[in-house]
Amino acid sequence: MLAINGLLSLGIASQQSAISMDTDKRSAPNFIIIFADDMGYGDIGVFGHPTIKTPNLDMMAYQGQKWTNFYVAAPVSTPSRAALLTGRLPIRTGMSSEKRRVLFPDSNGGLPPSEITLAKLLKDNGYRTAAVGKWHLGHKSPFLPTDHGFESYFGIPYSNDMDKIEATDYFTLADLERFQAYNVPLMRDDRIVERPADQRTITRRYTEEIVAKIRSFKEEHFFLYLAHSFPHIPLFRSDEFKDRSKAGIYGDVIEEIDWSVGQILETLKEEGIAEKTLVIFTSDNGPWLTYKTHGGSAGLLRGGKGGTFEGGMREPTIFWWPGKIKPGVVMEMGTTMDLLPTLCTLANVSIPNDRIYDGYDISPVMLGTGSNPRDIVFYYRDTGVFAIRKGAYKAHFITQPEYGSNTKTVHDPPMLYNLNVDPSEKHNIAEKHPEIIVEIKKILNEHLATLEPVENQLEK
């Protein structure tokens, strides 16, 4: 009798557990990640730009959370995107290189099939998935979005300045807005549907695609990844946004991206699923300063795209989830690698235990329920650690100009900055804090010991 009662109790407990799990699944949110390309820390209104109007992003921040210490894993496109989708540093996935910093149209590699993306984890657990926009993780199978957990794909598979077929200089082409100068393809799933892509309308078409997916998936759980092709050069905008901004063509491009954000948020409200959807906005790396007024601004931060000063890797970031997260400014650290474990936690999805993850579940910070597990950020340039942040302090072991020079400067002792009081990295305080340098060097050695050789995908 006791045994039977025990089995009955076990059966009831198991049934209750299954019901609880089903309830957890039903209450799990939808996710939308909006990823700009080459947007600087200071390029939107709520992060300090004085003349670019971004009312939708500003509202998103006021209603949600503005994260002021949020980072990417690399200061250039391909490795940064690989890290977001895998929760792992690019050095672990073969997606960084000293020879070719990103993938190109003649590249034969891409994100390895052995890597398990956020899209795949969510799709395998009942989520509808779609990728729209720039991919840049391999334009051939088995590296396409549809090979990595996305049900569908619509976008330009790599950077919008590639496949340049006119010798005319960039600035002249930009003034003429000749999209035909760049023979980049527009793809749907694994097929090219337009070439060259008419980049004047690309932001609008990406937005229409995402809005359609929201309406199509609204009765189910979904994960949408919108990776804008802009403000990466060459810059294009639709007729509606031409000469709208006081900040020139760059401002026009940002303001059209802001319009896109507004369309997405409004659609979620219209469909009655805003409180069921977490929307995250950030960028893949900092501004491309080489292109001057067409390259954006990192605000008060030093440096830009391609480098490991703050301007290259600290990004303007906003979390929006009405009724679920407390609005405010979050000064805790976070990275795009944290999104995979965080979103999986919110979706009640387990992540594999057969590999090293470099992301942390930062949902306790977002939800206000606990402390931040992240206290360290590694600043990789290609395959090397150039700097490390521990708490408020950042040590630079190596510095190198973002573009135009291969000269590396090794710092011994490392340069040290307190980013809480000196976010512009102007005042080296290494002599005052040798003990912090010792601690950060130890962190570096411990980290390097976790690395294992992998096949380089960017050099194929």
Cα distances (angstroms) measured from residue 348 to each of 12, 85, 342 = 22, 18, 10
Question: Which pLDDT score is estimated for 177?
Answer: 85
**Whole domain around residue 338: which residue ranges?**
28-374
pLDDT of residue 16: 41
Instruction: Count up the domains in the chain and report the number.
Output: 2
Residue 457 lies in a domain: no
- Among the residue ranges 6-15, 35-44, 110-119, 351-360, the one predicted with the least confidence is 6-15
Does residue 336 have a pLDDT over 60? yes
pLDDT band at 175 (very low <50, low <70, confident <90, very high): confident
Verify that 215 and 350 share a domain, yes or no. yes
Residues 265 and 348 in one domain: yes
Same-domain pairing of 361 and 403? no
Q: Residue 18 pLDDT > 70, yes or no?
A: no
Q: Are residues 308 and 426 in the same domain?
A: no
Predicted TM-score (pTM) of the model is 0.94
Mean pLDDT on 338-343: 98
Q: Which residue did the predictor score with more confidence, 20 or 281?
A: 281
pLDDT at 25: 63
* Residue reference for tokens 């802009």: 230
Confidence of residue 24 (pLDDT cuts 50, 70, 90): low
**Is 70 exceeded by the pLDDT of residue 6?**
no
Sign of the CA dihedral 121, 123, 129, 134?
positive
The verdict on residue 17 lying in a domain is no
Are residue 271 and residue 339 in the same domain, yes or no? yes
Residue ranges with strand state E in 341-421: 376-381, 384-390, 393-399, 409-418
Quickly count: other Cβ atoms within 10 Å of residue 459's Cβ: 13
Question: What is the average per-residue pLDDT within 342-371?
Answer: 97
- Report pLDDT for 189: 98
**Long-range contacts made by residues 211-214, C-beta under 8 angstroms, separation at least 24?**
211/263, 211/264, 211/267, 213/128, 213/130, 213/132, 213/152, 214/32, 214/264, 214/267, 214/268, 214/271, 214/273
Instruction: With cut-offs at 50, 70 and 90, classify the pLDDT of residue 12.
Output: very low
**Does residue 236 surpass a pLDDT of 90?**
yes
| 353 shares its domain with 425 | no
**Same domain (yes/no): 419, 271:** no
What's the rounded mean pLDDT across residues 140-167? Answer: 97
Residue ending a domain, among 334, 359, 374, is: 374
Bridge partners (DSSP) of residue 279 are 32, 320
Structure tokens at 172: 């002249």
pLDDT of residue 20: 41
pLDDT band at 27 (very low <50, low <70, confident <90, very high): confident
Question: Which residue bears the tokens 């000469």?
Answer: 243
Nearest partner of 374 among 389, 356, 386, judged by Cα: 389
Dist CA 99 CA 305 (whole Å): 17
Residue range 240-254: average pLDDT? 97
Q: Are residues 140 and 230 in the same domain?
A: yes
Ramachandran bin of 189, using left for φ above 0, alpha for ψ from -120 to 50, beta for the remaining angles: left
Looking at mean pLDDT, say which of 258-267, 290-299, 399-408 comes out highest.
258-267
Residues 358 and 393 in one domain: no
CATH number for the domain harbouring residue 331? 3.40.720.10
Are 257 and 277 found together in one domain? Answer: yes
Distance CA 220, CA 101 (A): 38
Q: What integer is the mean pLDDT of 224-249? A: 97
CA distances from 145 to 112, 183, 283, 353, 394 (A): 12, 21, 19, 23, 35
pLDDT of residue 171: 81
The two tokens of residue 10 are 């076990």
| pLDDT single digits (tens) 96-136 | 999 999 999 999 999 999 999 999 999 999 999 999 999 99
